[in-house]
Amino acid sequence: MAHAVLTTSDKVYSSERFARGGIGQAGVSTSPFSVWLDDWQWTSESNEPFPAKLVAGEHNFDFNLNMTLTQKEVLQGVDGYSQKHATLNVASYYFSVPAVNVVGTLNIDGVDVEVTGKGWIDREWSTKALNDDQKGWDWFALQFDDGDSLVMVQVRSENGPHRFGSLTSAKGETSMLKPEDIETMPLSFTKVGSGRYVPTHWKLALPNHGVMIETVPLNSQNWLAFAFPYWEGPVEVTGSKKGVGFMEATGY
C-alpha cells in the first residue's frame, strides 16, 4: 500500500495504491537501495537510502524530486524503541530524518512547478499500532527556522493521552521528551468531508525548553479518505519558534 498527497492552500490531490510484492508490482531492493509500487519509486544511487529520487503521482498531479541527506537520522525513544502506551508494552521501532534537501518538479493540473525546500522522512514499524483502549494519535513533525526540529506525539486513550517526542538542535543534538515535558491544547476544530470534526489548530508547549508555539494548517480540509482514513497535511508554526511542518491525526 502507498499514498501520494499534494496539498495547496485550496485543494488536496491524493491517491492510494495497492500492489502485490510476489509478482513484482511492489518491492524493496538493497543493492542499490530502491522501493517501488508500480511506477511510484524511491531510487538511490547506492546501497544507502540517500541521495535518492522520489517519483509518484496520478493523472492530475505528480512529483519528481531529488533528495539529499543534510542531517543524520534521529532514533526516537530509547535507541529507536518508541513506547506508545503509559503502562502496557505497546511500542514501535521508529526513526526520523528531519532535514532532507529537496530539489525537483511538481506537476499540478498539467502545470510544471520547480521547487526547492527541506523534506522530512519518518520510518516506523510495529506488530500492533494501538492497544484496544487507545483511539488514535495526534502527531507533529516540525522544522523551525533556526534549524531545530521537533517530533511531538500524543496517543489518545480512555485514560488520557500518552505523550512523547524529541527536540533536535541544528547541530544534530537530540533531547528525548517525556510525557511530563509536553503540553498540548486544541484551539479549533474543522468539519471535514466525512462529517467528522478534527482538531487542526493547536497550541503546543515544552515549558522546560522554552518552547510555546501554535500550528495552523495550510489547508484544513486535508482529510484523506483512504482505506484507513486520517487527516494529514502541512502546517505553519508561530510563537516562540517559527517554521513549518506536518501534522497527522487519526481516530476521529
* Beta strand extents in 59-196 (DSSP E only): 61-69, 74-75, 81-83, 91-108, 111-125, 134-144, 149-157, 162-168, 174-177, 183-191
CATH number reported for the structural domain that contains residue 179 in this entry: 2.40.370.10
Q: What pLDDT score was predicted for residue 158?
A: 87
Q: How many structural domains comprise the chain? A: 1
Q: What pLDDT score was predicted for residue 89?
A: 84
> Which DSSP string do the residues of 54-87 spell out, in sequence order?
EEEEETTEEEEEEEEE-S--EE-TBTTEEE-SSS
Residue labelled with grid coordinates 510555546:
212
* Residue-number span of the structural domain to which 93 is assigned: 2-250
The grid cell for 6 is: 499534494
- This prediction's pTM: 0.95
At 122, give phi and psi (nearest 5°).
-120, 145
Q: What pLDDT score was predicted for residue 227?
A: 96
Cα–chain-centroid distance for residue 133? 24
Mean pLDDT per 10-residue section of the chain, whose length is 252 residues:
97 97 94 96 95 97 97 95 87 96 98 97 90 94 98 94 97 96 98 93 98 99 96 99 98 94
